[in-house]
Each structure stands twice: as structure tokens, then as C-alpha cells.
């Protein structure tokens, strides 16, 4: 699935694209509804356990590291009920394995592999190429660590940008290994030493190194789950309920708000800012418009039944005007007496951090990426490439 921060749904464009291309998009679920489902399953007598299988299929800003970590925290709360969480994997990605490592029992297909080869970051630097073709790029930048412009002006990372990227990767990898070592009852130092020389594990190697519990073929695993759970009515599969069918999702057209757009009873408004902040009214998981978020905040503080706003941010930033419009509307809501709590998801950087600065309470996960405080502008000059053409200003 694609695990997002914001509730989503199929738009007309999505349906049209799938019809024209025969492309089937992965199931999309947002973190809050998954956590609610895990809490419900914890006390649901019909649920005997959780089966984890498949893989993440990230799209846009879905499947962020801290978002996945929060989902795992919900799984571990479920485990406190005494019900097991059982995993079955074939060739999980590193992000997938983070979830599998938290299972009580982890089984692997004999034809599978496990790859734990670390983290890396790379950019395509166009500075020399643009210069060769007569494209001059002038940069206006505030903040030494604001490295987003470097691919257009340089042929390598600046020392400041290399420092911050390396710091991020080191902290993330240390957290990743520490999480796996703790959940799989391994020594952090031994695991780190092993992965420094060996990172591709066949199933037998994975067992030897404590990364999985047992090797089972798919049909053997089905028999195991039938034994641990129950046989379905047709007698050919285990009794199951898919996560998508267990979520408490509103029906199409159903809302907590009445026909006038107001809350029917005292509620907390949860407003999601996921994607690059742009001007206008976008909200598709990839981009989110400042005008759209302003409208939602204004609707909340104008509603007498709204008691507070929770702003959930998963954004790398973007437009100055779009971000500033959101920030000003948050300030207005607080002046109108409405408490505002900001909760940071996987990333709240640059403009995503800016909009979080005026609130009553600001919360972040320990693995939230935040900061990137600064601004930049690019001024390409195409005069040498196209004689007679003056400077073109792009912000």
C-alpha cells in the first residue's frame, strides 16, 4: 500500500488515467485511519491476530520513514493485547523490513532475498552543462545550508550541503539499525559489523543472522495461518478481513459537517498539508495549495462548533506566498481564540516549517526531517543561448 498522511481518494483524473492505461494504483491508506483500525482490532474478539505481507508502494509523499514508524508503534500497541503479529515476506525492501522486523514471528519464502545495503543520496549537477551551452544562472540565497539550488550552479555538493546530508543519513541509518536490533533481539554492534561486509542475505543466511525466524513456502505458510486462525467457509483459505475492509472510512458524500459546511457537534478540525506548497487550490498528495489550506482554516475558525485545529504537516516547503498565506491564517485563527496544534509528519522543512511557527503547541516525531530554514531564487539568463533574449526571472 501507499501509506500517506492525508486522507485521499480517486479523482476523476485518476479514474480516467487508469481506464486509458490499464494501470492499477496501489491501495492508499492514511496513517490516522490505520492507527484507528489497529486500536479497534486490539479489542475486537473476532480478530485473532495480524498478518503482515506485501510491500509499500510509495507515491508522492507517502511512506515517509517517521510515518511508517508511527504505524509500527500502533502495531506494537496492538501486540500488548496478547494477539500475535505474524509476517510473511519474499524480497522486502529496507523500508518493508522495518515493519517485518517488528513482527512476533517472521517467515520468509525460500526463493526470497533480503537486501540491507544502507542509505545514499545523489543529485544530477547541471552547472557545467548549463555554462557550456551559454545558460547563466544567478542565485539569490539566504542560508548557507539551503542547498536546493546547487544542481543548477555547481558540479558537486558544497561542504555545507554534504555535511547536512551525511548527518541525516547517519542519524537515519543508526535509528534503522537500532530499531531492527532491538526488535530482533540482536546486538547493534554485531549487526552493524555484519552489514559492513555482507548485505545480501539468502533465507538460510537470514536465519543464521537472526533476521527471520523460519523458511516456509507460500502453501506451507497458508496452512500455518489456517492452523493459527480459522478455515474459511469454502474450506480453501484462512478466514481473513483485509485492512481496506476493516477501516472506518466515511461513505461517499458522508461528512462530519452538515449541508452548510459546518460541524454538527463540537469537533477538532484536522487539516492536512501534504506535498509541495504552491499557490492556489491544489491538494493531490503531490502538491497542496496555500489557498486551499487557508480556506479550510478560515472555515474552521468561523465555525462555532470547532474547538481547535490540528495541522498535520508533511511538506518540504515551496511557494513563499502560499506558505505565508497559511501562516497568516493560522495567526488569525489564534487571534479569534481557536487553539492550533501542529503535528509534523515525515518532513516539515522550509515552508513546511515556516507555517508551523505560530501555534500553541508544536510536535514532531524523533525521525521527522525539519529545518532547511532559508529562501532562494533562481535567475536564468538565456542571452548567450538565444541572442536578443533578455534575462528571465523565475522564483
Among 323, 393, 379, 316, smallest CA distance to 350 is for 316
Cα–Cα distance between 15 and 23 in angstroms, integer? Answer: 10
Is 350 considered catalytic here?
Answer: yes
For residues 164 and 145, the answer to whether their CB atoms sit within 8 Å is yes
For residues 328 and 351, the answer to whether their CB atoms sit within 8 Å is no
Among 191, 198, 135, 126, smallest CA distance to 155 is for 126
For residues 290 and 280, the answer to whether their CB atoms sit within 8 Å is yes
Is 214 considered catalytic here?
Answer: no
Q: Any residues with CB less than 8 A from the CB of 373 and at least 6 apart, and which?
A: 143, 350, 353
For residues 154 and 120, the answer to whether their CB atoms sit within 8 Å is no
Q: How many CB atoms lie within 10 A of CB 141?
A: 16
| Catalytic hit among 66, 146, 319, 343 | 146
- DSSP designation for 27: P
Q: Any residues with CB less than 8 A from the CB of 283 and at least 6 apart, and which?
A: 6, 275, 289, 292
Q: Any residues with CB less than 8 A from the CB of 206 and at least 6 apart, and which?
A: 108, 114, 212
For residues 3 and 56, the answer to whether their CB atoms sit within 8 Å is yes
For residues 2 and 27, the answer to whether their CB atoms sit within 8 Å is yes
Dihedral, 67, 71, 74, 79 alpha carbons, nearest 10: -140
Among 70, 75, 116, 112, smallest CA distance to 93 is for 116
Helix (H, G, I), strand (E, B) or coil at 236: coil
| Catalytic hit among 55, 66, 350, 372 | 350
For residues 322 and 279, the answer to whether their CB atoms sit within 8 Å is yes
Cα–Cα distance between 334 and 354 in angstroms, integer? Answer: 16
For residues 5 and 61, the answer to whether their CB atoms sit within 8 Å is yes
Residues tagged active-site? 146, 350
Amino acid at each position: 500500500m501507499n501509506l500517506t498522511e492525508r486522507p485521499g481518494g480517486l479523482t476523476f483524473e485518476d479514474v480516467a488515467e487508469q481506464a486509458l492505461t490499464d494501470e492499477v494504483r496501489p491501495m492508499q491508506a492514511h496513517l490516522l485511519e490505520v492507527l484507528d483500525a489497529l486500536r479497534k482490532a486490539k479489542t475486537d474478539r473476532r480478530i485473532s491476530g495480524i498478518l503482515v505481507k506485501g510491500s509499500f508502494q510509495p507515491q508522492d509523499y507517502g511512506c515517509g520513514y517517521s510515518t511508517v514508524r508511527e504505524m509500527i508503534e500502533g502495531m506494537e500497541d496492538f501486540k500488548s493485547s496478547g494477539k500475535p503479529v505474524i509476517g510473511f515476506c519474499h524480497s522486502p525492501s529496507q523500508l518493508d523490513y522495518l515493519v517485518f522486523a517488528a513482527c512476533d514471528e517472521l517467515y520468509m519464502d525460500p526463493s526470497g532475498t533480503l537486501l540491507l545495503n544502507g542509505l545514499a543520496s545523489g543529485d544530477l549537477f547541471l552547472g557545467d552543462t548549463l555554462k557550456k551551452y551559454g545558460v547563466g544562472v544567478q542565485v539569490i540565497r539566504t542560508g548557507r545550508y539551503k542547498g536546493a539550488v546547487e544542481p543548477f550552479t555547481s558540479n558537486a555538493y558544497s561542504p555545507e550541503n554534504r555535511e547536512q546530508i551525511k548527518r541525516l543519513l547517519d542519524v537515519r541509518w543508526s535509528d534503522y539499525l537500532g530499531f531492527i536490533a532491538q526488535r530482533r533481539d540482536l546486538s547493534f554492534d554485531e549487526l552493524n559489523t555484519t552489514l559492513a561486509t555482507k548485505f545480501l542475505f539468502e533465507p538460510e543466511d537470514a536465519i543464521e543472522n537472526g533476521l527471520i525466524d523460519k523458511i516456509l513456502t507460500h502453501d506451507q505458510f497458508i496452512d500455518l495461518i489456517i492452523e493459527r486462525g480459522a478455515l474459511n467457509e469454502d474450506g480453501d483459505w484462512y478466514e481473513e478481513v483485509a485492512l481496506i475492509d476493516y477501516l472506518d472510512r466515511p461513505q461517499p458524500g458522508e461528512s462530519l459537517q452538515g449541508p452548510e459546511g459546518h460541524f454538527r457537534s463540537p469537533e477538532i478540525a484536522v487539516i492536512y498539508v501534504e506535498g509541495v506548497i504552491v499557490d492556489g487550490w491544489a491538494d493531490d498528495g503531490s502538491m497542496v495549495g496555500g489557498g486551499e489550506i487557508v480556506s479550510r482554516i478560515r472555515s474552521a475558525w468561523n465555525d462555532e462548533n470547532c474547538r481547535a485545529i490540528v495541522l498535520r504537516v508533511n511538506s518540504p516547503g515551496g511557494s513563499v506566498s502560499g506558505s505565508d498565506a497559511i501562516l497568516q491564517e493560522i495567526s488569525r485563527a489564534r487571534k479569534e481564540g481557536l487553539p492550533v496544534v501542529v503535528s509534523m509528519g515525515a518532513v516539515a522543512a522550509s515552508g513546511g516549517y515556516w507555517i508551523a511557527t505560530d501555534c500553541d503547541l508544536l510536535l514532531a516525531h524523533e525521525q521527522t526531517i525539519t529545518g532547511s530554514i532559508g529562501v532562494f531564487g533562481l535567475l536564468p539568463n538565456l542571452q548567450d543561448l538565444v541572442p536578443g533574449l533578455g534575462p528571465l526571472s523565475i522564483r
